[in-house]
Amino acid sequence: MKLVRNYKLFPGRNKFFCGGRLMTSREYWAFILALILLIAPSVLFGIFTCPFIWEHVHPAIPIVFAYLFVLSLTSMIKTSWTDPGIIPRDLDPFPVLERYEDPGSPYSESMWHHGVPSQKEVRIKDKTWTLRYCDTCRIYRPPRASHCRQCDNCVEVEDHHCIWLNNCIGSRNYRPFFVFINTATLLCLFVIVFSIVHLLLVWREQNTTQQVTFNSVFDAAPVSFVLAIVCLVLLLMVGGLTLYHCSLILRGITTHEQLRASVMTKHSDLSANPYNKDNPVLNMATVLCRPRPKR
């Protein structure tokens, strides 16, 4: 009998390639658009602005820019093509069932007995946590795990599903995700600042030889002018996302926990989170320095 690799039989909605070593989700259009938004401004900046900065300011600036670009691109790809922490299925295929009846039914009691998976309770730091049963994956989800509807998987410490990176963000790829959004923010700031520097230096050179106008400066460096505006718009988006996740890390919570606390007022007390170290530095060290679980 011919053997079949496990990833070919995987029931989730993920796509595998390179012999099952890499995986992602199915929203390719969003990931391709995100790649274009990262690569296109960086390439234009490297072609039209960096040579001028290399000659008139300092060669170290284009080198630092190239390093940030490579770091941002690799962390983006790693986040998108890495197992986010999918929990194996069928760990509890036969859960203990609780029986209940419909009190308003006019029919016999025996006809309205149904079986539903019972909930398990665990204690963490003297607090009781309820483990919910996932009928799709047939497991009791660990604390902080969630079932992603887009990928159809239960993910350990799932933060959210990122459509732009075409993957869930969980325990195994949150660190490269955090590196990506931070380096992308720095790239936007880098391009904005040195595109403006390019324009100011062009204005200073023209001011010594002729009357300077907006059209003359724009004609001398049109790409830098456009890049400054485009990257300012991108900075508002990715920069806001970076600040939001920095606040989550410092408080020791995930996006799911924050949203649940905002919607469900009954459980809005985030201080009850047993994973919170009550210290922003320790919370950040726990999230960014924890070992990666096996895939």
Taking alpha carbons only, the member of 251, 249, 231 closest to residue 185 is 231
CA 221 to mean position of chain CA atoms: 35
Amino acid at 223: V
> Which of these is catalytic: 162, 168, 188, 231?
162
Which residues touch 21 (CB under 8 Å, ≥6 apart)? none
**What CA–CA distances, in Å, run from 80 to 37, 94, 138, 276?**
15, 34, 26, 27
Catalytic (active site) residue 134: no
What dihedral angle (degrees, nearest 10) is formed by the CA atoms of 105, 110, 112, 116? 150
- Are 270 and 257 within 8 A, CB to CB? yes
Pairing label, strands 120-124, 114-117:
unpaired
Q: Give the single-character DSSP code of 109.
A: G
Q: What angle do CA 207, 209, 213 make, to 5 degrees?
A: 45
For residue 280, CA distances in Å to 178, 182, 252 come to 16, 18, 8
Residues annotated as part of the active site: 162
